[in-house]
Structure formats: structure tokens, C-alpha cells
Amino acid sequence: MKKKNKGILRAFDLYLPLIPFFIFALFPLYFMVVTSFKKDAELYDLESVPFLIRQGVTLEHYKLLFYDTPFLIWFKNSMIVSVATTAIALVIALLAAYSLARMKFRGVEFFGVAVFVTYLVPPDPDVPAHEPGDG
């Protein structure tokens, strides 16, 4: 067999088993996009197929989002907060990582292991991030 065909078959063998995982991962995005283009009547119709658009496409939901709500302000505020938070966390993490890797002081090994173990423990799912009704 030619070398080129072996490469194609190897890639096929590698990526074919990943297809179900990609479908599983991308399905919620597909469902949100399809739902956003459906007309209101089709959204509330219990007889309709939720994965397909049968009664036509509409942009009314996007018009409502962009013209009747301050969505772009909300989006800008979210981007500012997320970029600032990421930058601050990155600076603090870089300083801490440098001090743990390069500097020698009493307890450095224990502190490094403690930080590592902290990342291994998942947050408790029983504790709500906020109380219902807090907004």
C-alpha cells in the first residue's frame, strides 16, 4: 500500500471514533441556534419537532434582543469583567508560580502540593453559588 493511503487510513482510524463525541458536544449549540430562528408559534407548539424548523425562519428574536434590550452594554460589561479577572488571575498565578519554582523557603514543597491538591478537589455541588431569588 502506498504511504499516502496509509496516512489517510490512519487519520480515518483516528478521527472516526471521535465523531460521536463531537456530535454530543456540539448538539446544545445546534439546538440553541435552531431554537433562536424559530417563530414563536412553533416554539410553543407541543406537536412540533424541536430539532427542525418547520414553519419558517424569523429574525424577530434577534431584533428584540438588539433593539429592545441593553444587550450590547451587558455584553461589553461581561467582556470587561472577564478580561480583567483573567488578567489579574494570570498575573497573580505567574508571580506565585515563579516564587514556588525558583525561590527556596521553608514550606515551599508543602505549599506547592497544597495548591495542586486544591485543584484536584471539585467544588461542592450541594452549595449553591447564590440563593434563589437573589437576582
- In this prediction, residue 122 carries a pLDDT of 77
Same domain? 96 vs 118: yes
User: How does 62-86 read in b/e, with b if 16+ C-beta sit within 10 Å?
Assistant: eeeeeeeeeeeeeeeeeeeeeeeee
- Residue 134 in domain: no
- Is residue 102 scored above 90 in pLDDT? no
How many C-beta neighbours within 10 Å does residue 39 have? 16
Same domain? 83 vs 61: no
pTM of the model: 0.62
Structural domain ending residue among the three candidates 66, 86, 107: 66
How many domains does the chain contain in total? 2
User: How does 91-127 read in b/e, with b if 16+ C-beta sit within 10 Å?
Assistant: eeeeeeeeeeeeeeeeeeeeeeeeeeeeeeeeeeeee
Same domain? 62 vs 74: no
- In this prediction, residue 107 carries a pLDDT of 83
- In this prediction, residue 130 carries a pLDDT of 63
Look up the domain containing 26 and give its range.
Answer: 1-66
